[in-house]
Structure 1
């Protein structure tokens, strides 16, 4: 089996695991960058920490190395177009990429948060580790909160965006 065949098989198997979709942003020298991710998870409650993975050649990874800060916005199902836009490597690599998108600054870091998302995590990088063709970034969450938690989440499964047609109410989820 060639390396290319092995990578394709691994991608196919990994694609069976449904994940949430988020956008990670950072800002350095007042230049914002962002990218769509599905490699996001919480790591710790005390202190509150999250983990993301980014390709080594990612412009955002270079920016995070320089700034030491990032924000993650968990996307809602009605944000598929935004997810696609920030997954497209052909988008502008400057503030122009955010034209027409409702964003605001995260309170602790000033990174951009997508205002119509489900929740956000405003973070300071604690550890960056090179693993295979990606970097694993573990960050301490300085501020966080819900934005629109009643909206349905955007999911990624079998290489395409999906969503849940109904979500439990906050009362029934408790």
Structure 2
């Protein structure tokens, strides 16, 4: 499967139950795809037992930022496993809060998509989360994509 090139995205959600103001949670994903145009629906794959996987069991709102080639550092920081908190990871990351999902949307991303979970499917050691698209924005439509291929980040060209 490492021979299948894929876009790189940051999946994010806001956990209102964590601390007084809540906490933002994020994870790097290469399994993000369109499922339906009518109605607009997308799919993400999250590792079962991960913080994001656990959060999305009870939190129906989430967002995806499709990362541009200059956002490799963002992809790296949210790909780290077993971290205690994402608070510091978001602290210096330029982002805005999605008006529909309340989740962080990365500034400069190719696209930001806000979603509400429609269904979940257990699949081996992952859960496929299918979401209805609530809103989509193109912050940097002219940017080039960050791609994952053969275990490394790549760019077009």
CA contact (8 A) 2:119 2:130 kept: yes
Unaligned runs of 5+ residues in structure 2 are 17-21
Query: What are the Cα deviations for residues 63-102 of structure 1, in whole angstroms up to 9, with x where unaligned?
Result: 1112111100000000001100000125442322212110
- 8 A contact 1:125–1:138 mirrored in 2: yes
1:55-70 mapped onto 2 (5 Å cutoff): 55-70=47-62
Asked whether the equivalents of residues 85 and 91 of structure 1 are also in contact (C-alpha less than 8 Å), the reply is: no
Aligned with 1:155 (options 139, 147, 157): 147
**1:16 equivalenced with 2:3 (yes/no):** yes
Please identify runs of 4+ aligned residues in structure 1 that moved more than 6 A: none
Q: How does 1:68-83 map to 2 (within 5 A)?
A: 68-83=60-75
CA contact (8 A) 2:26 2:86 kept: no
SS at match of 2:57: helix
Structure 1 gaps of 5+ residues are: 1-13, 166-174
TM score, norm. by length of structure 2: 0.93
Is 1:146–2:133 an aligned residue pair?
no
Greater strand proportion: 2
Q: 2:101 aligns with which of 109, 115, 131?
A: 109
Whose helix proportion is higher, 1 or 2?
Answer: 1
Q: Secondary structure at the match of 1:107?
A: coil
> Which of 1 and 2 has higher RCO (CA within 8 Å, sep 6+)?
2
The answer for the alignment partner of 2:35 in structure 1 is 43
